Amino acid sequence: MAALLVCALRTVALAGTEMAITIDDLPAHGALPQGMQRMEIARRIISVLQARAVPGVYGFVNGAQVRDNPGYLEILKHWVQAGFHLGNHTFSHLDIDRVATAEYVADIEKNETFLTDFARDDSARVFRYPYLHEGRTPSQRTPVRQWLAGRRYRIAHVTVHFDDWAWNDAYARCVERSDERAIDDLKRSFMKAAMERFEWARAVSHTLFKRQIRHILLLHVGAFDALMLDELLRAYQNAGMTAVTLRAAMEDPAYTRYDDTWQGGMTFLLRVAHARRAAIPPAPTIPLERLNAVCR
Ligand SMILES: [Zn+2]
């Protein structure tokens, strides 16, 4: 089984892979390490994306953060000045599984009003579900989807995700302790998870679609993401990745017809596999417990 998988991965690796880079939870995500500023984190992410010529990047915004920290507005302004786009991620980062439909929709609309000040073209009309939760039942899912479609929202799916968020709090704790060795370990485990999930997504795309669909990577606007972004993009590029705009990725026909099946926070490829009852290898595991325990 393992040998077969390695063989499949090697074959897939020969194919070029187009991928959009998306950044969630703007303007700020995760713990802030000692001596660092939120603007500095955002600036670093922006400058790496620019240096690596990543086009049409979307950052998905929760407006409530700016209500609570008015100074964060400058981060959004800087993002837009850099030529990037802002998408809707609900005002309050709500979980559709935990609130009533009316509350959820009102929160998206509130964020839309907030984002209108920053909108470039139609850029605010891209939505990403917080936690990738789309609702457990059709009665939760359908009205929200219909509302989004009525407002001409496109849904930003995710095919490559390695729980990047989980490294940010661990990093802040290790900075506090000046534990360089632990930080080096974090860097290694981050890159390992990132590459394993990328190769897994390519293998699964090949299994399900007989080709590489245009992938969509989910990252967060956190301190460790900022620290690692250049190395991450370099590694992806060395592995055959070409960065494309999110809009171009969303045009891939794979995303236009998908089946209405849902189990928790599934990424797009898992959902397709689940709907088709297709056999795919399990996603490589992420060391969440270890990350949660380090530098305590
Ligand atoms: Zn989020």
Best CATH choice for the domain 16-293 from the list 3.40.50.880, 3.20.20.370, 3.30.980.10, 3.40.50.150: 3.20.20.370
Predicted TM-score (pTM) of the model is: 0.93
What pLDDT is stored for residue 80 in this prediction?
94
The CA distance from 71 to 56, in Å, is 25
Q: How far is the CA of 238 from the centre of ligand 1 (A)?
A: 28
The CA distance from 22 to 218, in Å, is 5
What pLDDT is stored for residue 274 in this prediction?
87
Q: Domain-by-domain residue ranges, the chain?
A: 16-293
Q: Which residue has the tokens 């795919």?
A: 280
Beta bridge partners of 26: 61
Q: Of 247, 25, 243, 233, which Cα lies nearest the Cα of 122?
A: 247
The CA distance from 170 to 156, in Å, is 28
Q: How far is the CA of 4 from the centre of ligand 1 (A)?
A: 35
Q: How far is the CA of 21 from the centre of ligand 1 (A)?
A: 15
Q: How far is the CA of 256 from the centre of ligand 1 (A)?
A: 23
Q: How far is the CA of 24 from the centre of ligand 1 (A)?
A: 5
Say if residues 287 and 182 touch (Cβ distance below 8 Å): no
Q: How far is the CA of 131 from the centre of ligand 1 (A)?
A: 6
What pLDDT is stored for residue 133 in this prediction?
92
Q: How far is the CA of 93 from the centre of ligand 1 (A)?
A: 6
Q: How far is the CA of 60 from the centre of ligand 1 (A)?
A: 8
Q: Of 291, 246, 33, 272, which Cα lies nearest the Cα of 123?
A: 246
Q: Which two tokens stand for residue 293?
A: 């325990």
Spell out the per-residue pLDDT of the chain, length 296, in tens. Answer: 455 555 555 555 455 899 999 999 999 999 999 999 999 999 999 999 999 999 999 999 999 999 999 999 999 999 999 999 999 999 999 999 999 999 999 999 999 999 988 766 655 699 999 999 998 888 888 999 999 999 999 999 999 999 999 999 999 999 999 999 999 999 999 999 999 999 999 999 999 999 999 999 999 999 999 999 999 999 999 999 999 999 999 999 999 876 666 666 678 999 899 888 899 999 999 999 999 999 99
Q: How far is the CA of 1 from the centre of ligand 1 (A)?
A: 35
Q: How far is the CA of 191 from the centre of ligand 1 (A)?
A: 21
Q: How far is the CA of 50 from the centre of ligand 1 (A)?
A: 23
E strands, the chain, are 17-26, 58-61, 85-88, 126-127, 154-155, 215-220, 241-244
